[in-house]
A = this chain, B = another copy of it.
Amino acid sequence: MKRDNYHHGDLRRLLIETGIELISHEGEEALSLRKVAKECGVSSAAPYAHFKNKNDFIGAIQQHIMDLFTSSLEESIHKYNDSNEILPKMGKAYVMFFYENPLYYDFLFSRKNIKIQLSLNDTADNENLPLEILKKTAVRIFEKTNMSEKTIQNKIIAMWALVHGLSAILTMPNVEYDDRWEERIEKIIKSISISHRNTGDE
């Protein structure tokens, strides 16, 4: 991590990468600006040229990880054409992303930083948020049925809550994971996304 120039050239990116490295190996607790700076071969105050403060830095990392997460979800859409399979597979992708990198879950959803928000509202600048992808996909599938809009909305929320909750549970320490989970996840998700009864509002 040496450099010959006074200016680094690409410090911002390097800081973020080093930060993610640290988080995915030792957790958010271990993340300190000074440590990251030293690891990048730069003085303690250098990061402040690229980030307003630590929270801003964390926000940038969250954004980066959130992009990874979003990509993972979108990939699962293109992979499966059968509309009966898309939602369960997507839900599985949701859960698996965090299972494969448990520290990401804690980091992404620890409420220290308010830059990245999952929201139920329709807002214009939310295009690539996980919930929006899930929403769009679900609506596209459900609107072929004769369910009311309210019912569809409830189903989407239920689905989101389910996969999010599964992610939380599976990333808890001491929850041992075995292969049964893989099919279990799909089956549980299908039980919500397929059954057309008992979710209605009318």
Contacts and interface: CB of A to CB of B under 8 A. Distances in A.
Interface of A: 27, 29, 106, 109-112, 114, 117-121, 154, 157-158, 160-166, 168-169, 172-176, 184, 187-188, 190-192, 194-195, 197-201
A106 B117 contact: no
A163 B163 CA distance: 11
Contacts of A188: 154, 157-158, 161, 199
Contacts of A111: 27, 106, 172-173
18 contacts: A29-B112, A111-B173, A154-B184, A154-B188, A154-B191, A157-B184, A157-B188, A158-B162, A161-B161, A161-B168, A161-B169, A162-B162, A162-B165, A168-B168, A187-B200, A188-B199, A195-B195, A195-B198
> Chain copies in the assembly?
2
A78 B146 CA distance: 39
B191 A120 contact: no
A122 to B, nearest CB: 13
Given A191-B198, A192-B192, 16 more contacts: A110-B110, A117-B174, A118-B172, A119-B175, A120-B169, A120-B175, A157-B169, A157-B184, A158-B192, A161-B169, A161-B188, A165-B165, A187-B200, A188-B199, A195-B197, A195-B198
